[in-house]
Amino acid sequence: MKTPTKSSYHHGDLQKALLNTARLMLEKDGIASLKLRAITRNAGVSATAAAPHFGNLTGLLSALAAQGFDELSEAMSPEHAREPRDVGLAYVRFAIANPGLFTLMFRSDAIDPDHPVLATASERAFARLAALPTCDQSGISPEAAMASLWAKVHGLAVLAIDGLLAPLIRRSSTALTIDQLVEEAFR
Amino acid sequence: MKTPTKSSYHHGDLQKALLNTARLMLEKDGIASLKLRAITRNAGVSATAAAPHFGNLTGLLSALAAQGFDELSEAMSPEHAREPRDVGLAYVRFAIANPGLFTLMFRSDAIDPDHPVLATASERAFARLAALPTCDQSGISPEAAMASLWAKVHGLAVLAIDGLLAPLIRRSSTALTIDQLVEEAFR
DNA sequence: AGACGTAAATTTACACTGTAAAAATAACTT
DNA sequence: AAGTTATTTTTACAGTGTAAATTTACGTCT
């Protein structure tokens, strides 16, 4: 049995070390900087040290994305998000606080959505959304209400990350915040 | 004066030829396949033939994205989109009909948003949205209504492209379409 | 028409990248 | 203590983007 404490591998827990450095690079220099060789170089190991743990670059990025979905699930959990409104707020706030990671989580050409760890992580996060008591309006199926809500929240997150909402907010006469736009979706 | 008819360059109009092959590759094999060498190879020219026209890969992809924004503007023009609702429908339908191109248009790490051609093209498209008569609800600034509308439409487009809306639609008891979700946003 | 200047395209070269295969190293098990 | 296994490095190779120099062809001008 390998002790999961600290130094079960040669150089400590390289798996987590690689994910940590990759995440730092991600939020510092963007997704384009996530080259396998650059990650291992910054972690102080050889170029191919990640292979036994993640297989290839896609595997590493998928694991990183899974970590993101886990954190998002945590932020949207009933403990942290009492009212439905809080779930939407958590979603958008997570995206804005971790723009690189959030973007990676939905970049299906850089990650493998079928990767087991990633798939279960994302499903759990999406389940938090599906569990929302869809404030059903007149004559709208719960699925439609669900999709509409998710689309609006996700759209706000994506547009905000791309800096496309900033001009609108700046131009607004009333003091406008993204939080207000989110809250508006839950009413 | 060079005749802008057809063969003003050595091998015909290489600029457009490269954009055409790149676009075919984009919708066939996704953004990840848009390597500069692969594009020029498929176009039947040498590996560096794109440089005089586009500078580098980012320049070529930016030109391609600009082309996408132009087509999107066209689809959202008053001639094709009479009512506000039609603008939203045009937006989402364009995204679903050209998933690769639409994705590229918002991938700010693969394109240069400050590229003159791209900047003017995207601004024109966004202006079509800003020109919408924001069905102002009670006590909401027009900018907020604008942002909410755009976010919902954009969110629907992005989620649909990623295949994340399909399960919801399939699970819906009532026959649910994306068009219905868009129309719901304009009411 | 013929020579020139200029733009377009190719050739060449180099520093990167991802990853497969073989070799070496250190850990754990018995 | 010896052997087995998992981890890491070394080595190698095909592919990438792009800068620089060279070749090619077009347009222009006397």
State the Cα–Cα distance between residues B17 and B49, nearest whole angstrom: 11
pLDDT at B28 over 50: yes
State the Cα–Cα distance between residues A111 and B150, nearest whole angstrom: 27
pLDDT class of B132 with cuts at 50, 70, 90: confident
Nearest CA-CA partner of B155 in B90, B66, B67, B95? B95
State the Cα–Cα distance between residues A165 and A167, nearest whole angstrom: 6
CA A39, A44, A50, A53: dihedral to nearest 10 degrees?
Answer: -120
State the Cα–Cα distance between residues B34 and B113, nearest whole angstrom: 18
Phi-psi region of B83 (alpha: psi -120 to 50; beta: other; left: phi over 0): beta
- Mark yes or no for CB contact B151/A141 under 8 Å: no
All structural domains of chain A, each given as residue ranges with its CATH number in brackets, are 8-55 (1.10.10), 57-185 (1.10.357.10)
Nearest CA-CA partner of B63 in B18, B125, B11, B13? B18
Estimate to the nearest angstrom the gap between the alpha carbon of A134 and the chain centroid: 23
Any chain B CB within 8 A of the CB of A144?
yes
CA of B21 to C1' of C21 (A): 36
Residues B84-102: tens digit of each pLDDT:
999 999 999 999 999 999 9
pLDDT value of residue A156? 98
pLDDT value of residue A12? 75
- Mark yes or no for CB contact A143/B168 under 8 Å: yes
pLDDT class of B2 with cuts at 50, 70, 90: very low
Average pLDDT over residues B34-38: 98
pLDDT value of residue B137? 59
The answer to whether the beta carbons of residues B95 and B160 sit under 8 Å apart is yes
What letters, b where the CB count within 10 A reaches 16 and e where it falls short, cover A142-160? bbbbbbbbbbbbbbbbbbb
Look up the protein residue whose alpha carbon has the minimum distance to the C1' of C25. Answer: A10
pLDDT value of residue B136? 57
Q: Which residues contact A118 (CB under 8 A, 6 or more apart)?
A: A62, A63, A65, A66, A69, A111, A112
pLDDT value of residue B169? 94
pLDDT value of residue B41? 97
Q: What is the number of other CB atoms lying within 10 angstroms of the CB of residue A105?
A: 27
pLDDT at B6 over 60: no
pLDDT at B3 over 80: no
pLDDT value of residue A36? 98
Residues B162-182: tens digit of each pLDDT:
999 999 999 988 899 999 999
pLDDT value of residue A173? 85
Using CB atoms, pick whichever of A144, A152, A171 lies closest to residue B172: A144
Residues lower than pLDDT 50 in chain A: 1-9
3-state secondary structure of A10: coil
Average pLDDT over residues B50-56: 97
pLDDT value of residue B10? 64
Any chain B CB within 8 A of the CB of A154?
yes
Nearest CA-CA partner of A152 in A91, A71, A65? A91
